[in-house]
């Protein structure tokens, strides 16, 4: 089955490392990244969807970051 995560963060190298780590664990980019200004905090924010094929059935109790 395929599972989905949306990675988000400030526009810093930490966000790039978060996405790179997910890719190194078998996650695959899904669609284009998003980039928007967070006026409340005065920063640019990024988002990238990723998916991964896993064995078993989905459960809302899954820790997606641990997959």
Question: Do residues 33 and 46 lie in contact, with contact meaning Cβ atoms separated by under 8 Å?
Answer: yes
φ, ψ of residue 21 to 5 degrees: the values are -65, -45
Could you tell me the pTM of the whole model? Answer: 0.87
Over residues 4-63, the pLDDT tens digits come to: 999 999 999 999 999 999 999 999 999 999 999 999 999 999 999 999 999 988 888 888
Question: Do residues 46 and 35 lie in contact, with contact meaning Cβ atoms separated by under 8 Å?
Answer: yes
pLDDT value, residue 57 = 87
pLDDT value, residue 56 = 86
Q: What residue segments make up the domains of the chain, in order of their start?
A: 2-56
């Amino acid at each position: 089955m395929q599972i989905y995560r949306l990675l988000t963060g400030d526009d810093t190298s930490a966000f790039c490392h978060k996405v790179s780590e997910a890719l190194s664990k078998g996650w695959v980019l899904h669609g284009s990244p998003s980039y928007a200004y967070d006026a409340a905090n005065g920063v640019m924010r990024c988002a990238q969807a990723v998916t991964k094929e896993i064995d078993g059935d989905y459960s809302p109790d899954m820790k997606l970051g641990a997959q």
